[in-house]
Structure 1
Amino acid sequence: MAGQLCWIPSFASKGKLTLYLRLEPYHPWKPHTAFPSLCVRDYPIPGGSKGWATSQRLLQSGWTIVPTAQVQASFRDNFGDTSQAA
């Protein structure tokens, strides 16, 4: 099984990039922790990216990385610009 991965700013990590995964291009993006069977323990680096070790493993297994800007543009196209308060 080879899916897609992307680094997306996460509300839970105060806007820091967090690894998100999806098994198929038509599936929604989910945090890597939603897939415990795919996760690898993060490196013990203070301030390190959440999911870095997992991303390395998945890329070696044939997963595809999707640029963050592409995912964010897709969100804007599908849901509008939600960054502005009404």
Structure 2
Amino acid sequence: MQKEMCWLPRLGSDGTKILHLRMASHEPWRPYTSFPQYAVPDHRVPKGSKGWATYQKLRLEGWTLVPSVQAGSQGFETVA
């Protein structure tokens, strides 16, 4: 199973990107907060990227980062 992560716009936002995850390439992208088993608390940095701490953790665990452009070209689907 290939676990993937991507920076995508948060639904209902002004286009601000947050970390999204999915467990397999056929699944829709979901915000990292939908995965409490993987998410870690965000860094306490004003205006910091939402999901950056989780990204750092999962990258060390071998998750694959999918470029936002690639997810967009695939007609990405997100789930709130």
- When the two structures are superposed, what TM-score results if normalisation uses the length of structure 1? 0.81
Identity of paired residues, percent? 43
Which structure would you say has the larger RCO, counting Cα contacts within 8 Å and 6 or more residues apart? 2
Q: Distance in 2 between matches of 1:13 and 1:50?
A: 13
Q: Distance in 2 between matches of 1:74 and 1:2?
A: 17
- Which structure has more helix as a fraction of its residues? 1
Task: Report the counterpart of residue 19 of structure 1 in structure 2.
Answer: 19
Size of the aligned set, in residue pairs, is 77
Q: Which runs of 4+ in 1 moved over 3 A?
A: none
Task: Report the counterpart of residue 56 of structure 2 in structure 1.
Answer: 56
Highest Rg: 1 or 2?
Answer: 1
Task: Report the counterpart of residue 71 of structure 1 in structure 2.
Answer: 71
Task: Report the counterpart of residue 7 of structure 1 in structure 2.
Answer: 7
Alignment RMSD, CA only?
A: 1.9
Unpaired stretches in structure 2, ≥5 consecutive residues: none
- When the two structures are superposed, what TM-score results if normalisation uses the length of structure 2? 0.87
